Amino acid sequence: MKAVPAITVENVWTQFGKKVIHRDISFTLEKGQILGLVGASGCGKTTLLREMIGLQAPSKGRLSILGHDINYRQPHASGQLKNQCGVLFQKGALFSSLDVFENIAFPLRELKLNNPSLIEHLVNLKLTMVGLEPQDAWLMPAELSGGMIKRVALARALILEPKLLLLDEPTSGLDPIASQGFVDLLDALHHELNFTVVMVTHDLNVLNDLCTKVAVLADQQLIAYGPVSAVLNCDHSFARQFFQNKNAEKIFMHP
């Protein structure tokens, strides 16, 4: 019996008024893989991510997550599916009025979990999992470094133990050391938990070190899809500029 893909995107079009963002995009991502979604600013990377979690409906086409079609007309019908997806928004998007503990616990409270000891156990478990100390739970977001914000946001995204993790520019705004630390953390967690990952990124090191698949968006279309080695020689002008410059040559081993 053929395994069900983690994500199926089938003939997706996205249009705002007369402006076409996506034109007939199709691909599948198998469970346990890590997909890097790249493209020029404004090409619709984050929009596609929003469509994957049901926050926005495509104009045409079909998206299926973990074998279930997303029901955009009845959002509550996809509620159980959304609980299997963890999201790390760009810049962390922590609630500034809540401490670290309550930020991480927020999804549990949204599900009406009323067991204080279980919530405390789960939050402390996730804090440890992302490399933070128990005392960090009582810090406010304004007291955190950029790297700590990303780790707290990752802990919140993992609190429901999702099968699919969606990340929007997870290393943006981090210095090289903090960025590499986050990449190493995500790699270790992926090996331990084997979740599927889709991340919007422009970070070449992330693509090289983490991603098993890369999807390249340009000119409203999916111009390349596959392992990093397969997309390096895409002849589209954006792909050449992105993958075949001097900085990229230091990171990728070109065939």
Which tens digit of pLDDT belongs to each residue from 180-210?
888 898 899 999 888 999 999 888 888 888 8
pTM of the model: 0.87
Token pair, residue 52, equals 């994957």
CB 147 within 8 A of CB 135: no
Neighbouring C-alpha atoms within 13 Å toward the C-beta of 107: 24
What is the distance between the alpha carbons of residues 161 and 20, in angstroms, rounded to a whole number? Answer: 35
Q: How does residue 82 score in pLDDT terms, banded at 50, 70 and 90?
A: low
Q: Where are the domains of the chain?
A: 7-91+162-251
* 126 membership: H or E segment, kind and range: helix 116-129
**Distances, alpha carbon 237 to alpha carbons 91, 183, 225, in Å:** 29, 28, 15
pLDDT in tens, 9-19: 999 999 998 89
Whether 77 has a pLDDT exceeding 70, the answer reads no
Q: Write down the pLDDT at residue 1.
A: 61
Q: Which 3 state secondary structure label does DSSP give 246?
A: helix
Is 7-91+162-251 assigned to CATH 3.40.50.300? yes
